[in-house]
């Protein structure tokens, strides 16, 4: 019963978004929407290239310029089976590595956060990279955009209002 109520609620919410943002949903359904993936590490790069393989246009942004330059040279600084083949297939076509995080956020309709959350000295996740990109996204939002949080962060609840 709870499950069917939740499903009905999700359908109603989806309908509300569709009524308000038909252009956004149309762009996403037709894959005209450009995606920005923020963080080109072990999670972000495979995510970006897999999305390219599915037919999306992806900007791969990273704060470390040597990494972006390496990607433009067709090199991946870590091991992941098949990743260099995927990079070669999509570079200069629907995958564009980019150093300018702000430009990537402004140009995208969907923004994936894939920056690191390393364990700090006290054993807790260091969320500073996520907080930094969240602040940059907030400053450079360009209309109605979909933000996808893929970095691993602890769940938190906060009252609304």
List the x/- string, 81-120, binding to ligand NAD by CB under 6 A.
--------------------x------------xxxx---
CA distance 69 to 63: 11
CB 90 within 8 A of CB 56: no
137 in Cβ contact with 111 (< 8 Å): yes
Question: Which lies closer to ligand NAD via its Cβ, residue 35 or residue 40?
Answer: 40
CB of residue 77 to ligand NAD, shortest distance in Å: 9
Kindly state the number of chain residues that form the binding site for ligand NAD, as judged by CB under 6 A.
22
Provide, rounded to whole angstroms, the least separation between the CB of residue 50 and ligand NAD: 13
Q: Which residues contact 110 (CB under 8 A, 6 or more apart)?
A: 28, 33, 34, 35, 36, 145, 146, 147, 148
Helix (H) or strand (E) holding 97: strand 95-98
Annotate each residue in 35-74 with x if it binds ligand NAD (CB under 6 A) or - if it does not, as one string. ---xxxxxxx----------------xxxx--x-------
Q: Can you give the binding site for ligand NAD, defined by CB under 6 A?
A: 38-44, 61-64, 67, 101, 114-117, 129, 132-133, 151-152
């Amino acid at each position: 019963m709870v499950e069917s109520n939740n499903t009905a609620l999700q359908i109603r919410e989806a309908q509300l978004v569709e009524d308000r943002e038909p252009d956004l949903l149309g762009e996403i359904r037709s894959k005209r929407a450009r995606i920005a993936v923020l963080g080109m590490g072990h999670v972000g790069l495979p995510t970006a290239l897999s999305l390219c393989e599915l037919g999306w246009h992806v900007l791969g942004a990273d704060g470390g310029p040597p990494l972006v330059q390496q990607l433009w040279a067709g090199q991946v600084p870590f091991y992941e089976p098949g990743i260099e083949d995927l990079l070669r297939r999509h570079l200069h076509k629907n995958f564009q590595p980019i150093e300018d995080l702000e430009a990537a956020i402004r140009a995208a309709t969907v923004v994936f956060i894939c920056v690191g959350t390393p364990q700090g000295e006290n054993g807790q996740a260091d969320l500073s990279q996520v907080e930094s990109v969240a602040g940059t996204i907030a400053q450079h939002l360009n209309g109605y955009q979909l933000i996808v949080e893929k970095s691993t962060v602890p769940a938190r609840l906060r009252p609304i209002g």
